[in-house]
Amino acid sequence: MSDGAEEKIAVIIEDDADVRHLLKTVLTQSGFQTILTTNGQDGIDAVRTHNPILTTLDVSMPGMDGFAAAKRIREFSTTYIVMLTALADEIDVVQGLDSGADDYLLKPFRPRELRARIETMLRRPRERAGVGAGDAVASAPAPVAPAPVEQPVHQAPPLVEQPVYQAPPPVEQPVYQAPPVEQPVYQAPPPPQPAPPTPGRPPREPVHEPAPVVAAVPTADGWLEHRGLQLNTQTRLTQVDGRGIELTRSEFDLLATLLGSGRRVRSKADLVLALRGESYVTTYYVNDADKRAVEVHMANLRRKIGDSSATPRFIETVRGVGYRLASDRDAA
């Protein structure tokens, strides 16, 4: 038997050198001895050799990807698996968890959040392959099951016929007739008269405020348009100044939601629900990882349509809240 606590070993499977060394630093500060690998097959061999308590696994790797590596590891190990990836679509998260991962963290990740998630997993201990309570259970004699005791057969009492309930006939309620109320005729107030100009001072020119951007209404053939940015909800096509743009499903749904909202600010939680096809929180909780995924999709969307967060032409950021369409005040 060991005199002290079991040594904490972590296997890092990551093909990006910068991310690999960052993970080594974070896990070393958390008390782990780290084993570094650069591809799926070497990572599987390291898990088999060192029997780690924790394994971090990149998804997008050359050769064997993280989903396949997780399934192979789960065939022989109960190590905790944390998947690290930039794939934020719901189908990717579901596929990662189905392949055997215990948690799914988006890149770029925050080191303090990674440490907190690992500590949370370790508070749910489970028996590891080859160590722990399994050896003690194997050495203990098997308990002898007591002889079965014959239970008396219960005889249900005879059914008693219940009287049939007859509902009383409905009582006709009198219909209430409200007395007519004469409505007063609204008289519009007279239009205000402009003030006479001050002697010696030229009259002030009227200031014309730009018309606010309202929610775009699709045309008969499904097109929405804002300052040269066009989107078709029927054919799922997108154009900028007549040039076609290729968008992912999530990027298209985000853009369609903002075009349909006009200048109304849509929070990141609203956009998470829009990507799920929900109008309010139902089964799933909107967490920080969900909101971080919206930020990643929005950055990719802006890059594809040629927009800038510093000088927005199409989409502007409302700090601390979310996003909305840019105003037409700067349009020529």
Is there a contact between 211 and 328 (Cβ–Cβ < 8 Å)? yes
Per-residue pLDDT band for 173 (boundaries 50, 70, 90) equals low
Distance (Å, rounded) from C-alpha 233 to C-alpha 235? 6
Is there a contact between 127 and 133 (Cβ–Cβ < 8 Å)? yes
Structural domains in the chain plus CATH codes: 9-132 (3.40.50.2300), 223-330 (1.10.10.10)
The answer on pLDDT for 159 being more than 60 is no
pLDDT tens digits along 15-43? 999 999 999 999 999 999 999 999 999 99
pLDDT tens digits along 244-283? 999 998 999 999 999 989 889 999 888 988 888 775 554 4
The answer on pLDDT for 6 being more than 60 is yes
What pLDDT sits at residue 272?
Answer: 86
